[in-house]
Structure 1
Amino acid sequence: MSDLCTKYVENELNNYKIRLNEVENNIRSYEIEFKTVSKNLSKLNKEKDWTEDIFHSVSYSKTSDNIKLSTLDNSKSELNSNLSILRDEHDILVEKIEELTNILKVDKESTTQKSIDKNESTQDNVSRETINSDTLDNQLIEQITSLINKQKFIIQIMDKDITRSKLEINNSIILMERLIEKVKKDI
């Protein structure tokens, strides 16, 4: 993989790690809030005099209790939904981090092997030019593939995080411009 691609993958890996940390912190805070709401809901249910509901009492305190119960139930449902979304995002992020880590590991092994192969090779100038041309083509393909993967990632996060997707789109544009400039130089 080219240096540009490697830097891109490392940058993406760091971004995923940062986002994973944010998601984990959000999950912890939602879990704490969820437990607090559950405790308050349980406490309010124990304190409420359910016998008066049979007679449809309209006292202020009972109406207030019903509103509190309803509010806590809604809050609990919303928190549970948010937790579910964050856990799904967490799983996706962990998977992406593992994938990018493996890509970097394979690239590092591949780079080492390529350098050994280059040192051992004693080909003439014509074959060297062919190898260089193939390497440039491979780098170009890798960079384009990297941009395609970035676009797929943007599609995945577009509904969840508009600001992040805008940032990723801008990064993608910059990478495309660099790639175009590199291709112009090579041609």
Structure 2
Amino acid sequence: MDRTTIENAALKLFHERGFGAVKVQDICAECGITKPTFYHYVPSKDDILLRYNEEALDTVEAHVAGTDPEGPVSQLLGAYLVLIDECERIGPDLLSRITCSNLQKNHGSYDTRPTIIERMEAIITAGQRSGAIGNAGDPHQLYLSSAYLYEGLQFMWCLKRGTLTGAPSFARASPPSGRSRHSKEPPGEKPFSPGVFLGGQARATRPQLA
């Protein structure tokens, strides 16, 4: 037995039944272990979710560490595409629990990693220098504005239990025709994206990283 096996079993149950409906004993039964064994590897159910969230940040960090042949704006929007996909993978129920856990005690789940901040600022700076990003403001403040905008929409998505129209399309630029697989806004309505906010343009499809 190891922590990964316990976490995978717990996450499977969380997604099937909902976080609140799953007891530690249910996880133990799924794994064929006792409660003492569970607590030997895992401090609590919430700790499993917090680590799940860290894995999502690992994915974002890997994305911004690469380069994008479509340019800096595409890579910037691509980072939010990755976040959207990770949020959808985790789901509103578990994301809501992660938020509640951090409200009870700040576990740092919403503290952006310094490496991500540094790379996002560098991407914005590169876009400004190339003319792809028309907003000449401070790169750090521009990044924070786009990040907080995203977090606000993520919160509303959780509050609406994953039914907030337009939230998934937030980080996608508005294509002149056609829709991305997540876009749900009525025809003619443009999603508010970081690309528009920064004064840049990018394709709405997921960028291919080199």
TM-score w.r.t. structure 1 length?
Answer: 0.27
Answer 1 or 2: higher relative contact order, Cα 8 Å, separation at least 6. 1
Q: TM-score, normalised by structure 2?
A: 0.25
- Rg larger in structure: 1
Higher helix share: 1
